[in-house]
Amino acid sequence: MGKRLVAMLGAVLMGGMAGLGVPCVSAQALRAPTDVESSHEMAEATVLKVFSAKEGKHEFMAYLVKWKDSEVIVSDPLDRSRFRIGDEISFMVQKVTVGSRDHRANLLSFMLLPSQDAVSPVEQKRWMRLAGGDLDAAENEVERLFALGPAAKNALRKGETEKARTLAKELERLTPKYKDWDNGNEVQDANQVLGRIALAEGDVAEAKKRLLASADSKGSPQMNSFGPNMQLAKELLAKGEKVVVIEYFELCGKFWKSDRGKLTAWTKAVHKGKTPDFGPNLGY
């Protein structure tokens, strides 16, 4: 398996789960509104049923398996597999807890892993480091690109403002160079980090610009399923910036089709002068 594919899979599995909570960004301190805890384990199971769909050039592939005492769906985000009923597959079980003290969400997801023959245990550990934002694990520019988003958010969470700014700008510079399905995550991460820094430094106009820019994409597997990050939107609402947040919701609606009515409900709440309960979307 190529190095780029390995990094891509790591980004799918974990890239979208890093939070944007920040203990301190600048002279205007920001407390982390969201805690993000993540763990994972490897598992193997027999395929019980195959799910597939195709629309134009876009394809979907997933498998029904028995995990512990439950039947679960293992998704193949890269659509590279073609397993059949009875085949043994390896997959990752990821457990993520996001939310504030008053509102926490415990998420469980199942993602297909490359076969043991395709990727060694050492290589699996390396792409897990990449997905977690460890830039030292990158062996080329493409792999560095996939690690930059989590790295920038990690720096922001630790209060390392200048490091976060530098990494986010590098991410912004590299993103147009590699056109692929992950661009939505990269666009969001760069602009959300830079927007939160700008807002903490008192530049509301720049923060508003960055909020809209973070949704200027076709989305990504994570954004299209779980939705985009709402932390910067929430912070702008606290500043009374209702118009730009509603415009942001409209942009998100272009790729987040499976929002289950959340964008409509949030828009109504903002019109009434309320701050929506964004729940897990504060941590994506």
What is the overall mean pLDDT for the chain?
A: 82
Task: Choose between 153 and 22: higher pLDDT.
Answer: 153
Q: What is the pLDDT of residues 203-249, one digit of tens each?
A: 999 999 999 999 999 988 788 888 999 999 999 999 999 999 999 99
Residue 4 has pLDDT above 70, yes or no: no
User: Which structural domain, as residue segments, surrounds residue 277?
Assistant: 3-282
Candidates 151, 89, 77, 149; CA nearest to 116 is 89
Percent pLDDT > 70 in the chain is 80
146 is written with which tokens?
Answer: 């996939």
Instruction: Tally helices (H) and strands (E) across the chain.
Output: 10, 6
User: Which of 19-33, 57-71, 91-105, 216-230 shows the lowest mean pLDDT across its residues?
Assistant: 19-33
Residue whose entry in the numeric block shows the structure tokens 């008053």: 102
The answer, as to whether pTM is greater than 0.75, is no
Residue 101 has pLDDT above 80, yes or no: no
Tally the domains of the chain.
Answer: 1
Q: What confidence score (pLDDT) does residue 37 get?
A: 65
Q: Got the DSSP string for 26-88?
A: SSS------EEEEEEEEEEEE--EEEEEEETTEEEEEEEEEETTEEEEEE-TT------TT-E
Task: Choose between 248 and 39: higher pLDDT.
Answer: 248
CA atoms within 13 A on the CB side of 166: 5
Residue 71 CA to residue 41 CA, distance in Å, equals 17
Model confidence at 163, in pLDDT bands (50, 70, 90)?
very high
Q: What confidence score (pLDDT) does residue 242 get?
A: 98
Give, as one character, the DSSP assignment of residue 280: G
Q: What's the whole-number mean pLDDT along residues 31-52?
A: 74
Q: What's the whole-number mean pLDDT along residues 149-168?
A: 95
Residue whose entry in the numeric block shows the structure tokens 């076969």: 115
Residue 262 CA to residue 242 CA, distance in Å, equals 17
CA atoms within 13 A on the CB side of 257: 4
